[in-house]
Amino acid sequence: MAIEFDVVVPDRPGELGRLAAALAGKGVNIDAIAALTAGGKGYVGLLPAEPGRARDALKGAGLAFTERTVLTVQLEDRPGTLADLAKRLGASGVNITSVLPIGSGGGRVQLAIGVDDLEKARRLV
């Protein structure tokens, strides 16, 4: 398992740089990141190597964020494996709220998956 931080920033030039600089300033490495914009806002999901330091850095920079524990899974790197997992979770009433790729190699892909019921999801994987 890992800690995911979800950060909301204005959709304007330099905001991702500000966020990354805040983390770098506290010596925090980013293990995984995904970002998109919609409705005038930027949404950044990240897995920091050191959640405590990341929390301090984001607070110190005045950035709005939430954090949660996410499930990490390894799947075969082939079509349908994510579909199978997502359908199994969904059929059991577990809602997937985020998916971040962590790495891949050797025919496997590792993902961090945010869910609304972590304990139930852990039992299903």
**With contact defined as beta carbons under 8 Å apart, do 69 and 62 qualify?**
no
Of 50, 32, 40, whose CA–CA distance to 8 is shortest?
Answer: 40
Domain boundaries, the chain: 2-68, 69-124
- At 56-96, the pLDDT tens digits run 999 999 999 999 999 999 999 999 999 999 999 999 999 99
- At 2-47, the pLDDT tens digits run 999 999 999 999 999 999 999 999 999 999 999 999 999 999 999 9
Euclidean distance between CA atoms 83 and 102, whole angstroms: 18
First-to-last alpha carbon distance for the chain, in angstroms, is: 12
Q: How far is Cα of residue 81 from the mean position of the Cα atoms in its chain?
A: 19
Q: Across residues 114-119, what is the average pLDDT?
A: 96
Question: What is the pLDDT at residue 1?
Answer: 83
CATH number of 69-124: 3.30.70.260
Question: What is the pLDDT at residue 10?
Answer: 95
**With contact defined as beta carbons under 8 Å apart, do 110 and 74 qualify?**
yes
CATH number of 2-68: 3.30.2130.10
